Amino acid sequence: MMTWVRARRAVIGLVGCVTLYVLAAEVGHGRLPERIWLGAHYVENVKLLPTWRALVEEGAFLIESNILVDSIAVSTRRVVLGLLLGSVAGILLGLLTGSASRLEALAEPWVTFFRFTPALALLPLYVVWFGYGESSKVLLIATNVAVITFLGAHQGVRGVPRVYLDAAASLGADGQLRFRKVILPAAFPSIFSSVRVAAGLAWVTIVVAELINAQMPSLGYLLALAGAYPRVPTMLIGLATVGALVLIFDLLALLLHAWATRWMERAA
Amino acid sequence: MTAGTPPPVLEAMDVSYGYSGPTPTQALDGLSLEIKDSEFVALLGPVGCGKTTLLRIFAGFLRPAKGWVRCGGASIDGPGWQRGYVLQEEAIFPWMTVRENVEFGLLAKSVAPVQRREASDALIELIGLTAFAEAYPKELSTGMSKMVEVVRVLATDPSILLLDEPFGALDAQTRQRMQDALAALWQMRRKTVLFVTHDAEEALYLADRVLVLSPRPGRVKATFTVDLPRPRSFETRFSPELLALKRQIWEAAGLQR
Strands B192-197 and B40-44, sheet pairing: parallel
Work out the angle between the directed axes of helices A134-158 and A67-99 (0-180°, nearest 10): 40
Determine the straight-line distance between the first and last CA of chain B, rounded to whole angstroms.
Answer: 42
Q: Are B168 and B198 in contact (CB under 8 A)?
A: yes
pLDDT score of B104: 96
Q: Are B28 and B219 in contact (CB under 8 A)?
A: yes
Residues in A closer than 8 angstroms to B87, CB to CB, are 163, 166-167
Q: How confident is the model at residue A267 (pLDDT cuts 50, 70, 90)?
A: very low
Domain boundaries, chain A: 1-48, 50-260
DSSP state of B218: B
Residues in B closer than 8 angstroms to A262, CB to CB, are 136
Query: Is the model's pLDDT at A2 over the cut of 70?
Result: no
Per cent of chain A over pLDDT 90 is: 56
At B56-73, the pLDDT tens digits run: 999 999 999 999 999 988
pLDDT score of A266: 57
Q: What is the mean pLDDT of residues A134-150?
A: 92
| Cβ contact, residue pair B59, A182, below 8 Å | no
| Cβ contact, residue pair A171, B156, below 8 Å | yes
Distance from CA of B120 to the nearest CA of A (A): 15
Q: CB contact, 8 Å: B141 with chain A?
A: no
Q: Which domains, and CATH codes, for chain B?
A: 10-252 (3.40.50.300)
- In DSSP notation, chain A reads -HHHHHHHHHHHHHHHHHHHHHHHHHHHTTTS-S-EEETTEEE-S--SS--HHHHHHHHHHHHHTTHHHHHHHHHHHHHHHHHHHHHHHHHHHHHHHHH-HHHHHHHHHHHHHHHTS-HHHHHHHHHHHH-SSHHHHHHHHHHHHHHHHHHHHHHHHHTS-HHHHHHHHHTT--HHHHIIIIIHHHHHHHHHHHHHHHHHHHHHHHHHHHHHT--SSSHHHHHHHHHHTT-HHHHHHHHHHHHHHHHHHHHHHHHHHHHHTTTSPS--
Q: Are A259 and A81 in contact (CB under 8 A)?
A: no
At B122-138, the pLDDT tens digits run: 999 988 899 999 999 99
B216 or A194, which is more confident: A194
CA distance A241 to A251: 15
Q: How confident is the model at residue B257 (pLDDT cuts 50, 70, 90)?
A: low
Per cent of chain B over pLDDT 90 is: 59
For chain B, give the mean pLDDT.
90
CA distance B56 to B69: 11
CA distance A60 to A72: 15
CA distance A58 to A237: 8
Query: Is the model's pLDDT at B200 over the cut of 60?
Result: yes
Give the residue among A262, A169, A160 at the shortest CA–CA distance from B104.
A169
Exposure string for A95-109, b = 16+ CB within 10 A, e = fewer: bbbbbeeeeeeebee
Distance from CA of B118 to the nearest CA of A (A): 18
At B161-173, the pLDDT tens digits run: 999 999 887 888 8
CA distance B88 to B167: 9
pLDDT score of A118: 80
pLDDT score of A80: 96
A206 or A102, which is more confident: A206
For chain A, give the mean pLDDT.
89
Q: What is the mean pLDDT of residues B155-165?
A: 92
The counts of H helices and E strands in chain B are 8, 10
Q: How confident is the model at residue B120 (pLDDT cuts 50, 70, 90)?
A: very high
| Cβ contact, residue pair B93, A167, below 8 Å | yes
pLDDT score of A268: 42
Whole-model pTM: value is 0.85
Q: How confident is the model at residue A187 (pLDDT cuts 50, 70, 90)?
A: very high
Domain A50-260 annotated CATH 1.10.3720.10: yes
CA distance A166 to A172: 10
Q: Are B143 and B160 in contact (CB under 8 A)?
A: no
Q: What is the mean pLDDT of residues A74-103?
A: 92
The H or E element containing residue B13 is: strand B10-19
Distance from CA of A172 to the nearest CA of B (A): 5
Least confident residue range of A100-104, B195-199, B200-204: A100-104
Least confident residue range of A47-51, B81-85, B109-113: A47-51
Query: Is the model's pLDDT at B251 over the cut of 90?
Result: no
CA distance A212 to B30: 74
| Preceding omega of B231 cis (within 30 degrees of 0) | yes
Q: CB contact, 8 Å: B136 with chain A?
A: yes
- Locate the chain B residue with the closest alpha carbon to A261: B95
- Strand order across the beta sheet in which B40-44 lies: B83-86, B160-164, B192-197, B40-44, B209-213, B220-225
pLDDT score of A33: 83
- The β-bridge partners of B47 are none
ipTM for this prediction: 0.89
Q: How many contacts, defined by CB atoms under 8 Å, are there between A and B?
A: 74
pLDDT score of A41: 82
Identify which of A163, A171, A263 has the shortest CB distance to residue B108: A171
Residues in B closer than 8 angstroms to A171, CB to CB, are 81, 104-105, 108, 152-153, 156
Query: Is the model's pLDDT at B4 over the cut of 70?
Result: no
At A237-253, the pLDDT tens digits run: 999 999 999 999 999 99
Query: Is the model's pLDDT at B113 over the cut of 90?
Result: yes
pLDDT score of B24: 87
Query: Is the model's pLDDT at A207 over the cut of 60?
Result: yes
| Cβ contact, residue pair B108, A172, below 8 Å | yes
The H or E element containing residue B58 is: helix B51-59
Query: Is the model's pLDDT at B185 over the cut of 70?
Result: yes
Distance from CA of A162 to the nearest CA of B (A): 9
CA distance B99 to B112: 15
Interface test with A, best of B77, B101, B103, B104 (most A CBs within 10 A): B104
pLDDT score of A146: 93
| Cα dihedral value B169, B172, B176, B181, nearest 10 | -30
- In DSSP notation, B92-130 reads --TTS-HHHHHHHHHHHTT--HHHHHHHHHHHHHHTT-G
Least confident residue range of A12-26, A199-213, B201-215: A199-213
Distance from CA of A184 to the nearest CA of B (A): 10
